[in-house]
Amino acid sequence: MANKLNLDQSQRVDIVCRKNDTFSLKLQISDENGTAVNLSSGWGFNMDVRTSDADNELDVDRIMSTEIADGSNADPGRIVADLTTSGSSGEVVFTCSADDMDVAAGLYVYDIQQVDTTADPDIVETILYGTFQINEDVTITA
């Protein structure tokens, strides 16, 4: 008899956005009872957009991220994770400016991790993952 314990709590959500448009994604972080988690201290969030989900130490396939890659592989776009207001609302907003969304249209992959730094060691959990499709833009600005 086969037994299985699935510890992967992440949810698949595919994202479609447009090149050269401001990207904004607001998430409400709640506990198992549906109560907003106070994110004012001890919490962090990471979001990476990559060409593939293959592990890559050098980050050469990283398209956008909440972290800037070191050296010559600096990200062409930067995603900012903002814990809105005091963080007690449980809201986190991921944004990328229109200028930083000037990346090649195409189909990518992404994930979002939450990091609880109040634990020792930190508790890292992927909460969302999926495809990240960037549609071509028509309007060209000078």
DSSP 35: P
Give the 3-state secondary structure of residue 21: coil
Positive or negative: CA dihedral 133, 6, 54, 123: positive
Report pLDDT digits (tens) over 13-65. Answer: 999 999 999 999 999 988 889 898 888 778 888 888 988 887 666 556 778 88
Is the pLDDT at 68 greater than 90, yes or no?
no
Q: How far apart are CA 85 and CA 57, in angstroms?
A: 34
DSSP 57: T
Percentage of the chain exceeding pLDDT 90: 33
Looking at every residue in the chain, the average pLDDT score rounds to 83
pLDDT at residue 72, rounded to an integer: 43
Q: What is the pTM of this model?
A: 0.83
Q: Hey, what's the torsion of the CAs at 81, 93, 129, 17, to 10 degrees?
A: -110
Q: Hey, what's the torsion of the CAs at 87, 134, 106, 110, to 10 degrees?
A: 20
Which of 39, 69, 41, 40 is closest to 56 using CA atoms? 69
Q: In 10 A of CB 79, how many CB atoms?
A: 25
Q: How far apart are CA 34 and CA 127, in angstroms?
A: 15
pLDDT at residue 57, rounded to an integer: 62
